Amino acid sequence: MKINTIKGIPAIFLFTLLALSGCKTDLYSGLAEQDANNMLAIMLNQGISAEKIVDKKTNTYTLSVDKSSIPVAVRLLQEHGYPKEKVFSVNEMFQKDGLISSPTEERARFIFALSQSVQETLTQIDGVLVARVHVVLPETSASGQQVKPSSASVFIKYHPAYDLESMKSEIKLIVEKSIEGLTYDKVSVVMVPAQLNKIEK
């Protein structure tokens, strides 16, 4: 039987290689459209072949890449802060067992909601990869006076390509204005540049 060849390579073998090279593996699924678009753009800009597929039932997206590109793609996306950590709602984090919540539960819900809200705002700043906000609200004494002032501590990991150190004052102002009773001097901010590895393709 005669086998057609292309420059000495059997055509059937070449076809198999081409077919395999076009196969992609799901990298991340259940993504929101904005995150999927951003992640896709990051990979394409680095020359990684990727595709975005929508799941119409859940209105979420899946990103797929060539199997050989998975290690590079994962590391690249992690260095850009993706996939973003899911922001849980208060009801998701604190499930109610009864119809009436205790004052302690309501206080925990309120503090949690404040922290999540401020974190979400900070992650919208270009270059912010990870943001953590810990809020301390004063207990009220029996006489109605606050035992100690409110305070907040902020941790930010950012992409070194962005000069976020120069924005520390603005970040403190965002936190101060987001929490009632908090003063500027009671907001501490720690900013750490991410350690990025050179991407080898």
CATH top class, domain 102-193: alpha beta
Which residues of the chain have a pLDDT value below 50?
1-6, 8-9, 11-21, 201
Domain 22-80 carries which CATH code? 3.30.70.1530
| Beta-ladder partners of 9 | 6
| Beta-ladder partners of 55 | 60
Residue type, 70: I
| Per-domain boundaries in the chain | 22-80, 102-193
Beta carbons within 10 angstroms of residue 107's beta carbon = 13
Whose tokens are 């077919």? That residue is: 19
| pLDDT digit string, tens, across residues 111-140 | 888 888 899 899 889 889 889 999 988 776
Give one word for 30, left, alpha or beta, with left for phi > 0 and alpha for psi -120 to 50: left
pLDDT computed for residue 24 by the predictor:
84
Phi, psi dihedrals of residue 87, rounded to the nearest 5°: -95, 115
pLDDT computed for residue 78 by the predictor:
83
Asked if 22-80 and 102-193 have one fold, the answer is no
Nearest CA to 171 out of 123, 137, 135 is that of 123
pTM above 0.75, yes or no: no
pLDDT computed for residue 17 by the predictor:
43
